[in-house]
Amino acid sequence: MTEMVTVSEREGGKYTNDVRTSRHHLYADEPVPLGSSDLGPTPFEYLAAGLGACTTITLRMYADRKKWPLEHVSVDVSQSKDSDGKHVFKRDITVTGDLDDTQRARLKEIANKCPVHKVLHAGSDVITNLT
């Protein structure tokens, strides 16, 4: 299944964009100190949000399938660069519920199986066309 997202510049700030998916309309932007209006998350914030959302969804689906007493999942994602310039994403996952140590350890393993994690870890090809 191919999912199309269309991003185009819009009025509002120097770098403000409309982001349209098949069902949603969002904004992307850069902060005021970079010369824009901060009307939406930055592209890297969206990338981190995608990793966090995929992680919580993956853990919820797994726990539900196993009928585990997972009450709530939240993920804090930070992004930085190491000394070689490589991007590093750090996930701090918080789970609540009456889970034993074995279940908690398994959830940590499952977090690394979320599709966005796999894409970031493996890398991707980007094909660019200019029309």
Q: Torsion-angle region of residue 108: left (phi > 0), alpha (psi -120 to 50) or beta?
A: alpha
Looking at the structure, do residues 37 and 48 belong to the same domain, yes or no? no
Range of the domain at 20: 1-41
What's the CATH code of the domain at 68? 3.30.300.20
Looking at the structure, do residues 107 and 49 belong to the same domain, yes or no? yes
**Global confidence as pTM:** 0.91
H-helix or E-strand spanning residue 120:
helix 115-122
Q: Which positions ≥6 away from 48 have C-beta within 8 Å?
A: 77, 78, 79, 89
**Total domain count, the chain:** 2
Looking at the structure, do residues 30 and 2 belong to the same domain, yes or no? yes
Q: Is the pLDDT of residue 10 over 90?
A: yes
pLDDT digits 0-9 by tens, 31-77: 999 999 999 999 999 999 999 999 999 999 999 999 999 999 999 99
